[in-house]
Each structure stands twice: as C-alpha cells, then as structure tokens.
C-alpha cells in the first residue's frame, strides 16, 4: 500500500475547516484519535487519517479553537476529511479493498 503519510505532502486540505489556509505545502496526515483505536503513544492506522493543512491540523489536535465550534463539530469536520481523503485515494487507485 502507498505510504499515506508521505502521500499527504502537497495535497489539498480535505478537512476544509473555518481556519483552513488552503496551502497544500502545509498538508499532513491528521490521524483520528478515538478510544479503542488510539491512545497514549499509539496513533490510529494511517487509513483513518485526513489530509489536513497546518491550520486544520491544529484545530483537530486542539492547539487552536474557533468560537462557536465544540469538540463534536471539529470531529465531524475531521471525519468528513477522512472520507474525502479515502475517496481520493480510491479514485487514484492508491488504496484498494
């Protein structure tokens, strides 16, 4: 399978949050953090990540916040980004089932 962390470099942000900088030069793979699939020192599988610009990644990891957005709003943005990322990887045939 394609190295999904490396693949994120130069890609458009798929999270598209209110803080998005739309700069593909800052895009990284933002992993989902959820009980049962990740924990202290354990990242979730790369397939459960979204291409996120540096600003959206900061929002996901709670290094920044947006007034009126709670944790569930951010989780939904991230999940939508994961789905968009997976869809693009499938379209490019970089991930197969």
Q: Which residues are designated catalytic?
A: 31
- Alpha carbons 2 and 80: distance in angstroms, whole number: 21
Tokens read off for 31:
């992993």
């Amino acid at each position: 399978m394609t190295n999904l962390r490396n693949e994120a470099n130069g890609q458009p942000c798929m999270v598209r949050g209110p803080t998005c900088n739309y700069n593909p030069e800052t895009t990284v793979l933002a992993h989902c953090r959820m009980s049962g699939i990740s924990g202290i020192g354990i990242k979730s599988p790369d397939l459960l990540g979204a291409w996120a610009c540096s600003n959206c990644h900061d929002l996901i990891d709670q290094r920044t916040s947006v007034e009126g957005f709670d944790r569930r709003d951010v989780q939904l943005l991230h999940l939508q980004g994961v789905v968009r990322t997976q869809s693009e990887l499938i379209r490019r045939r970089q991930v197969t089932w």
